[in-house]
């Protein structure tokens, strides 16, 4: 009785990339020089072996048959065998159903939407922005609660979150000790910041920052960066008429401010919760003014097209809500970039210092009122402001038209 022995190997991986055969095959070919090598990439040959392998071949032939191609009659018999086998019947039905899948999304039923998000939706502005950008992404992240696989490496997000925590803890310390930011010495700021950083590095959630020599070295640089960012954050306050009214101010149940509530046409409610990095207030003889500051670990600005399309509403929503609650006039919504840009070392010390100052200049929207703008930069008379995105003409002493502002 003649017996056959066959060896097989894949020619490409799951991504369609070519794979080299094992070196073991080269050795086998040397031992058996008359060995024939054939490929089933173009034409598949019928090979009845293990049930699992035959099942896979059956599905490929069923797909060909559905596409109008001719297949060997033996596959109809093999189909009957799997169909009559109780252990394979259900698997066969599901697989055949999958072959008819068109990848066309179906609308989620109202019942399932209610199960996913509840009777009344409790969300944040950033989540609503993400829905506006991509509803399917919102469904995956906040409906199905899918998450990216975590990797043990120091990401920009980690450092940005850490810097946020340190800045918030600094203002909390200033508040507790009743220190005046306009009088505090730079050395005192350094001591407070270093103490906060050292305490936070000992927390379990920040273990990654001291987990290796490489990360420890990055953490040393991070300390210097936080100190530098803090210097310009303080300057943006002390060289203005605005004072810190609150930091990490939250909207939500049992928080400083209640959730922002919106009633829909169908009677259901949307409760918006969230957090503001910092609220500043200034006052003069005509009233009190409010500005909202958001710390960002990358260059960020407000795009009016994104605002119009509902993709950048966070700061304006909080500004509107806070002004109504506190009975204040809106002054500005500003982003403060806490990450210093790399500087060209070929520049002079003065040029580098000027470039650093520009990298910490805030971006955003301001009211078109020159008096309020000067309250944000007391040193500003004409020309460019070093604190906010404003340029004042020298002759008519008005704001240049290209500057963005909100009414």
The arrangement of strands across the sheet holding 269-272 comes to 121-123, 269-272, 260-263
Higher pLDDT, residue 280 or 338: 280
Q: Look at 25-39, 63-77, 83-97, 339-353 and tell me which has the smallest mean pLDDT.
A: 339-353
**Average pLDDT of the chain?**
82
Beta strands 363-367 and 405-406 are: parallel
The span from the CA of 17 to the CA of 366, in Å, is 53
Q: Look at 103-117, 286-300, 305-319 and tell me which has the smallest mean pLDDT.
A: 103-117
CB atoms within 10 A of CB 280: 23
* Residue 345: per-residue pLDDT: 66
Is the pLDDT reported for residue 403 higher than 50? no
* Residue 157: per-residue pLDDT: 44
Q: How confident is the model at residue 40 (pLDDT cuts 50, 70, 90)?
A: low
| Per-residue pLDDT tens digits for 361-370 | 899 999 988 8
- Beta bridge partners, 247, equal 278
At which residue do the structure tokens 């369609």 appear? Answer: 16
Within 8 A by CB and 6+ apart from 225, the residues are 163, 338, 339, 340
Q: Look at 172-176, 306-310, 339-343 and tell me which has the smallest mean pLDDT.
A: 339-343
Q: HSE-up of 255 (CA within 13 Å, CB side)?
A: 17
Is the pLDDT reported for residue 31 higher than 50? yes
Q: HSE-up of 182 (CA within 13 Å, CB side)?
A: 8
Q: How confident is the model at residue 154 (pLDDT cuts 50, 70, 90)?
A: very low
The span from the CA of 320 to the CA of 174, in Å, is 27
| Residue spans of beta strands (DSSP E) within 48-103 | none
Stretch (H or E) spanning 348: none
| Per-residue pLDDT tens digits for 238-263 | 999 999 999 999 999 989 999 999 88
Is the pLDDT reported for residue 173 higher than 90? yes
The span from the CA of 233 to the CA of 337, in Å, is 10
Decide if 277 contacts 283 (C-beta within 8 A).
no
Is the pLDDT reported for residue 229 higher than 50? yes
Q: How confident is the model at residue 32 (pLDDT cuts 50, 70, 90)?
A: confident
Q: How confident is the model at residue 405 (pLDDT cuts 50, 70, 90)?
A: very low
* Residue 291: per-residue pLDDT: 96
Decide if 285 contacts 331 (C-beta within 8 A).
no
One-character DSSP codes across 187-238? HHHHHHHHHHHHHHHTSGGGGGGGSSHHHHHHHHHHHHHHHHHHHHHHHHHH
Alpha-helix runs per DSSP H in 119-155: 125-133, 135-138
| Per-residue pLDDT tens digits for 267-300 | 888 899 999 999 999 999 889 999 999 998 777 7
At which residue do the structure tokens 């220190």 appear? Answer: 179
- Beta bridge partners, 288, equal 283
* Residue 401: per-residue pLDDT: 39
What's the mean pLDDT in 381-386? 86
């Amino acid at each position: 009785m003649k017996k056959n022995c066959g060896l097989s190997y894949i020619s490409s991986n799951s991504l369609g990339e070519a794979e080299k055969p094992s070196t073991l095959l080269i050795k086998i070919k040397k031992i058996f020089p008359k060995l024939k090598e054939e490929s089933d990439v173009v034409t598949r040959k019928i090979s009845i072996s293990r049930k699992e392998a035959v099942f896979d071949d059956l599905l490929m032939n069923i797909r060909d048959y559905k596409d109008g191609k001719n297949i060997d009659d033996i596959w109809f018999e093999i189909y009957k065998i799997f169909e009559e086998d109780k252990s394979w019947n259900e698997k066969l039905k599901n697989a055949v159903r999958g072959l008819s899948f068109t990848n066309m999304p179906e609308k989620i039923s109202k019942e399932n939407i209610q199960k996913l998000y509840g009777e009344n939706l409790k969300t944040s502005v950033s989540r609503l922005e993400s829905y506006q950008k991509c509803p399917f992404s919102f469904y995956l992240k906040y409906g199905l609660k899918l998450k990216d696989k975590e990797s043990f490496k120091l990401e920009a997000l980690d450092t940005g979150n850490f810097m946020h925590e340190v800045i918030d803890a600094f203002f909390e310390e200033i508040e507790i000790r009743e220190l005046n930011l306009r009088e505090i010495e730079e050395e005192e700021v350094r001591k407070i910041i270093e103490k906060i950083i050292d305490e936070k590095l000992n927390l379990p959630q920040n273990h990654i920052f001291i987990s290796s020599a490489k990360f420890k070295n990055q953490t040393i640089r991070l300390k210097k960066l936080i100190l530098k960012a803090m210097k310009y954050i303080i300057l943006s306050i002390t060289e203005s008429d605005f004072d810190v009214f609150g930091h990490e101010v939250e909207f939500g149940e049992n928080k400083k401010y209640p959730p922002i509530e919106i009633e829909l046409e169908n009677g259901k409610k949307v409760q918006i919760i969230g957090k503001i990095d910092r609220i500043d207030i200034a006052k003069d003889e005509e009233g009190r003014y409010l500005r909202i500051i958001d710390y960002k670990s990358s260059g960020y600005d407000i795009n009016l097209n994104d605002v119009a399309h509902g993709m950048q509403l966070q700061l304006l929503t909080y500004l509107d809500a806070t002004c109504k609650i506190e009975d204040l006039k809106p002054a500005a919504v500003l982003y403060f970039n806490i990450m210093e840009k790399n500087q060209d070392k070929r520049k002079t010390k003065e040029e580098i210092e000027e470039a650093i100052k520009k990298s910490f200049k805030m971006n955003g929207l301001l009211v078109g009122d020159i008096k309020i703008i000067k309250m944000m930069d007391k040193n500003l008379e004409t020309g460019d402001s070093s604190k906010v995105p404003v340029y004042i003409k020298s002759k008519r002493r008005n704001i240049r038209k290209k500057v963005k502002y909100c009414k």
